[in-house]
Amino acid sequence: MSEKTLLHARWIVPVEPAGAVLEHHALALKDGKVEALLPSAQCAARFADYDEVRLDRHVVIPGLVNAHTHAAMSLMRGLADDLPLMRWLQEHIWPVETRHVSPKFVREGTLLACAEMLRGGITCFSDMYFFPEASIEAALAAGMRSAHGAIVIEFPSAYASDPADYLRKGLALRDRYRDEPLLSFTLAPHAPYTVSDATFRRVAVLAAELDLPVHIHLHETGDEVERSISEHHVRPLERLGRLGLLGPGLIAVHAVHLEADEIQALARHGCSVVHCPSSNLKLASGFAPVDALIRAGVNVALGTDGAASNNRLDLLQEMRTAALLAKAVAGDAEALTAHAALRAATLAGAQALGLGERTGSLLPGKAADLVAIDLGAPELQPCYDPVSQLVYSAGREHVSDVWVAGRAQVRDGKVRNSALSGLEIPAQLWQNALKGLADS
Ligand SMILES: [Zn+2]
């Protein structure tokens, strides 16, 4: 896309204002941002010197925001399936990570994840993993928008020796990349069962001082809640509250096991939840009360979690699963409508990450982070409502074009960036290395 472009589409769903579906409109794009969104004829008259792109069978939406993933874990896709969370972590994931995770692993795994995410219409992801400098390098090479967690856990790893070392390394990256427009940062204490009170207190102070969101796995399983009660005499959310972590910057990932007063507390403090329906189903973690959270006023975003527990980095799938599951959980077919699911996959994710002014909807002034989905295929006909089609019928294979900050990253279903080609070779080499460990 050149510097000044008019993007005409059969439908445009800007997400803001809520529920709007615009037919035969165009986006005027300039310098990587949305300049205007108007009826096609009006737009063409006003921006006569702009290059024109026509997407006559397509719906254009804001780029999808994957609000929780561990991108490099794409190299562990399918390594260990059909296990509950703690056995999966302790017997499979953590041993492989101890032996293999390095900057090279993270860079190559994140590139693989970026290729998959871009092809599926994801323009922004929030990552939590070791060696974030390597995931940053990969995300920048891929041309994606990304938020990187300064990860902290209590135990040492190849990446860092103790909690202070984790935080120091993560925050140094934030300082190094603070002027990089596609990057942002979070503090990422891994989970209540891997982080001490003292470390949480330090994270709370840093979050307030540096105005950073706090990205954490929270109330994911019944075991986690029980363990907190036996070790700390309170449930995890209450513990975080006492340690000063409840506030608008808190991003509670999973939030499956919640009591009514905890839903109210999340709402009262302006916290966000990242719902990861496929991961919760696959690890048998349970059913997040998404409808109750949204009704209480909690900002609910969507995430894929890592490819080792999903096994797809596919937000179109998460939208559909979330919309279907919410209805069954609430016993209410009106729970998480198609429009609400699309909002969760776009604007809610951006807002959770503190990027709501920059991306997540197509308001003028925001970045031109855009996805076009071709609704012309027989399996998507007829089309009474493009948002219904998007959430309930379409898949990521229907994504045709993706732009991040106005730059075309996918055209006609093909990734254009040479940094994202040939990734099956390192993936195969890592498979051989990890499989060797699994068999030994
Ligand atoms: Zn996770």
Structure confidence at residue 1 (pLDDT) = 53
Q: How far apart are CA 142 and CA 353, in angstroms?
A: 20
Q: Tell me, in angstroms, the distance from the centre of ligand 1 to residue 10's CA.
A: 37
Mean pLDDT across the stretch 44-49?
96
Q: Which of 9, 49, 51, 46 is nearest to 27 (CA)?
A: 9
Q: pLDDT tier at 85 (50, 70, 90 boundaries)?
A: confident
Tens digits of residue pLDDT in 359-372:
999 999 999 999 99
Looking at residue 202, what is its pLDDT? 98
Q: Given pLDDT bands bounded at 50, 70 and 90, which one contains residue 437?
A: low
CA–centroid distance, 317 to ligand 1, in Å, is 17
Strand, helix or coil for residue 266:
helix
307 alpha carbon to ligand 1 midpoint, in Å? 10
Contact 258, 285 (CB under 8 A): no
pTM metric for this prediction: 0.97
The pair of structure tokens assigned to 62 is 């804001």
Q: What pLDDT was estimated at residue 440?
A: 52
pLDDT of residue 3: 86
What is the three-class DSSP state of 25? Answer: strand
pLDDT band at 223; cut points 50, 70, 90: very high
Six-digit token string for 42: 């009006």
Task: Specify the higher pLDDT residue, 112 or 438.
Answer: 112
Evaluated on CA atoms 126, 131, 132, 137, the torsion sign reads: negative
Question: Any idea of the CA torsion for 127, 133, 136, 141, to the nearest 10 degrees?
Answer: -140
3-state DSSP assignment of residue 291: helix
- Reported as a single tens digit per residue, the pLDDT across 191-221 is 999 999 999 999 999 999 999 999 999 999 9
Q: How far is the CA of 212 from the centre of ligand 1 (A)?
A: 19
pLDDT one-digit tens code per residue, 232-279: 999 999 999 999 999 999 999 999 999 999 999 999 999 999 999 999
- Cis ω on the peptide bond leading into residue 378 (within 30° of 0)? no
- The whole-angstrom separation of Cα 156 and Cα 354 is 30
Distance 190 CA to ligand 1 centre (A): 8
Ligand 1 centroid to residue 108 C-alpha, Å: 19
The answer to whether the beta carbons of residues 150 and 128 sit under 8 Å apart is: no
Ligand 1 centroid–CA 69 distance in Å is 6
The CA–CA distances, whole Å, from 198 to 192, 243, 244, 362 equal 12, 9, 12, 42
Cα-to-chain-centroid distance, residue 257: 21
Angle, helices 424-439/103-119, rounded to nearest 10 degrees: 120
Residue tagged 């737009």 (tokens) = 43
Q: What is the pLDDT of residue 375?
A: 98
What is residue 438's predicted lDDT score, i.e. its pLDDT? 52
Contact call for residues 173 and 133 (beta carbons, < 8 A): yes
pLDDT of residue 155: 93
Mean pLDDT of 149-173: 97
- SS3 category, 275: strand
pLDDT band for 406, please (50, 70, 90 cuts).
very high
The helix (H) or strand (E) run that includes residue 409 is strand 407-411
Whether residue 435 is predicted with pLDDT greater than 90 in this model: the reply is no
The rounded distance, in Å, linking the Cα atoms of 352 and 68 is: 10
Distance 374 CA to ligand 1 centre (A): 31
Q: How high does pLDDT run on average in the chain?
A: 96
Per-residue pLDDT, averaged over 395-400, amounts to: 98
Helices (H), 47-196: 85-88, 94-100, 103-119, 132-142, 163-176
Q: How far is the CA of 70 from the centre of ligand 1 (A)?
A: 6
Q: Kindly give the distance from the C-alpha atom of residue 115 to the centroid of ligand 1, in angstroms, as a whole number.
A: 19
Calculate how far, in angstroms, residue 23's C-alpha sits from the geometric centre of ligand 1.
Answer: 38
The Å distance, Cα 433 to ligand 1 centre, comes to: 23
**C-alpha 167 to ligand 1 mean position (Å):** 19
Q: How far is the CA of 217 from the centre of ligand 1 (A)?
A: 6
Q: Find the 275 Cα to ligand 1 centroid distance in Å.
A: 11
Strand order, beta sheet including 183-189: 64-69, 122-127, 145-152, 183-189, 214-218, 250-254, 272-275, 299-302
User: Which of the 8 DSSP states describes residue 353?
Assistant: T
Q: Give 77 Cα–ligand 1 centroid separation in angstroms.
A: 14
Q: How far is the CA of 89 from the centre of ligand 1 (A)?
A: 11
Contact 317, 122 (CB under 8 A): no
Residue 436 binned pLDDT confidence (cut-offs 50, 70, 90)? confident
Q: Is the peptide bond before 66 cis (omega within 30 degrees of 0)?
A: no
Extract the tokens encoding 202. 């330090």
Percent of the chain surpassing pLDDT 90:
96
* pLDDT, tens only, 316-332: 999 999 999 999 999 99
